[in-house]
Amino acid sequence: MLTLVGMNHRSASLELRERACFAEGDVPAALSRIRESTSATEALILATCNRVEILTRAKDGPNVAAEIRAFLARERGLDDETIDRHVYVHQGLHAVRHVFSVACGLDSMVLGEPQILGQLKKAYALAQESGSTGPVLDRLLQHALSTAKRVRTTTGISRHAVSVAYAAANLARTIFDDLTGRSALLLGAGKMTELAAKHLLSQGVTDLTVTNRTYARAETLADSLGGKAVPWDDFTRELARVDIVLTGTAAATPVLTKEHVRQALRARRGRPLFIVDIAVPRDVEPSVHDLPGVYLYDVDDLQDIVDEGLAERRVAAEQARRMLDIEVVGFDRWRQSADLGPTIAALYEHLHHVGHVEIERYGRRLQTLTPEQREVVLDLTRSLIQKVLHTPIVSLKSAAERGEAGPRAALYREIFGLEHGRPHATQTPQETADEAGSGPTHAIQGGKED
């Protein structure tokens, strides 16, 4: 049974998420504590700024959820009420579905954001290194990661801009060949311009000039961003040189006029100029946009693009969910056929056991046989068992392909009197050979398996 216990940006406040979070270095130790203190045999911890989730797989029981909740409470010092109110639990296919959605960014604060895929990969690597994944989590995570990649390329969910700064950088990329090494001029040294400038820098812009009415603030910001500051009165000179202008002053009237830009145009020799005005009230005269080769976008323009981007993401998310439906069913089929392993093994074991007992019972009467004849009798028994089991097993496997393995396997267990994968065994099979589909452990010596 797969169980996922966790909290995310919807269920819990940032403060609570911070408290519940596991630092990367603590994860391996926490994973081994989970496996020691609960019935989980496989475990994974995904801890990001927007979610803390513990994914486990245990052989049995609805109790795992309670155990993991208790573990979380104990580890992070959370009381029961908090856990009840802010922690969600998904089990079985719901857990599978949740992991797939998380991987695709469908459960993220910003729909379709791509960082989560890397974070999930990291969480999986940590779990693998600390030896807390097994066949089921391995399969689930690999399936989820590859599906997420496919969903991203097919639906284009991450392509559309979802913030004003992102939209501005996207626009710059449709004008300029490459943002690497481009120059930008910042008018105003406020928080908003700083944020937008950081985004441009992360896109490769290297040459940054900052100006502000109070020169000292321009200098401070220039220092922190690795640019240079120029006095306010000199900024018009920079207009002839830079590729991008970013304005965000608190001025009540436009600080950048059509005349300023027009004068710079000749020296620019036709190079395009991209101006982003994120100030309210606006810093740049709207008529600047009419000048040839000048593209002025204000907050409203960018917000329109963001809205469009969000709408596109929602459409893509719908498509992504439909793709996930199919993938979840695919994973379920795999689970079911993997679950058949113990039933099939138990069936063989049961019949071989019956055969073994009967041969023991007839032991004395068989003593008169030569070793060759004895061998023939053993062969006959084995062959009989194989023949009898052949059709039921083929039928069970085809039921699994139709997704009906569960009830069918239960029926077989009932008919043959198998208890949890083990008949009335006289010998205890190795504990390690469990659901992963190992063959019978108690068989007539030399019995062939198929």
Distance CA 287, CA 296 (A): 9
Chosen residue from 22, 100, 235, 297 binding other proteins by CB under 8 A: 297
Residue 177 vs 450, nearer CB to other proteins: 177
- The verdict on 176 binding other proteins (CB under 8 A) reads yes
Distances (CA, A) of 13 to 47, 49, 81, 87, 320: 15, 11, 15, 11, 27
182 touches 206 (CB < 8 A):
yes
> Among residue numbers 134 through 163, which ones bind other proteins (CB under 8 A)?
156, 159
Residue 266 vs 387, nearer CB to other proteins: 266
Closest to 65 measured CA to CA, from 6, 21, 144, 125: 6
Measured from the CB of residue 230, what is the shortest distance to other proteins in angstroms? 24
- The verdict on 269 binding other proteins (CB under 8 A) reads yes
Beta strand pairing call for 207-211 and 183-187: parallel
Largest Cα–Cα distance in the chain? 117
The CB-side HSE value for 369 (13 A sphere, CA atoms) comes to 14
Residue 47 bridge partners (DSSP): 52
Chosen residue from 74, 85, 173, 402 binding other proteins by CB under 8 A: 173
Residue 149 vs 402, nearer CB to other proteins: 149
Residue 308 vs 358, nearer CB to other proteins: 308
Total interface residues for other proteins by CB under 8 A: 23
**Phi and psi for 51 in degrees, rounded to 5?**
-160, 150
Chosen residue from 293, 341, 429, 437 binding other proteins by CB under 8 A: 293
Q: Is 49 a catalytic residue?
A: yes
Chosen residue from 110, 175, 299, 359 binding other proteins by CB under 8 A: 175
276 touches 247 (CB < 8 A):
yes
Q: What is the DSSP letter of 256?
A: B
- The verdict on 301 binding other proteins (CB under 8 A) reads yes
**Number of other CB atoms surrounding residue 75 within 10 Å:** 16
Measured from the CB of residue 294, what is the shortest distance to other proteins in angstroms? 9
Considering the candidates 29, 49, 376, 384, report the single residue annotated as catalytic: 49
Measured from the CB of residue 272, what is the shortest distance to other proteins in angstroms? 6
**Phi and psi for 431 in degrees, rounded to 5?**
-65, -30
Stretch that binds other proteins, among 83-91, 226-234, 265-273, 395-403 (CB under 8 A): 265-273
Stretch that binds other proteins, among 104-112, 189-197, 269-277, 328-336 (CB under 8 A): 269-277
According to the 3-state scheme, what is the secondary structure of 137-186? Answer: HHHHHHHHHHHHHHHHHHHCCCCCCCCHHHHHHHHHHHHCCCCCCCEEEE
- The verdict on 304 binding other proteins (CB under 8 A) reads yes
Stretch that binds other proteins, among 22-30, 267-275, 317-325, 406-414 (CB under 8 A): 267-275
**Residues involved in catalysis:** 49
Residues that bind other proteins (CB under 8 A): 156, 159, 171, 173-177, 266, 268-270, 272, 289, 292-293, 295, 297, 301, 304-305, 308-309
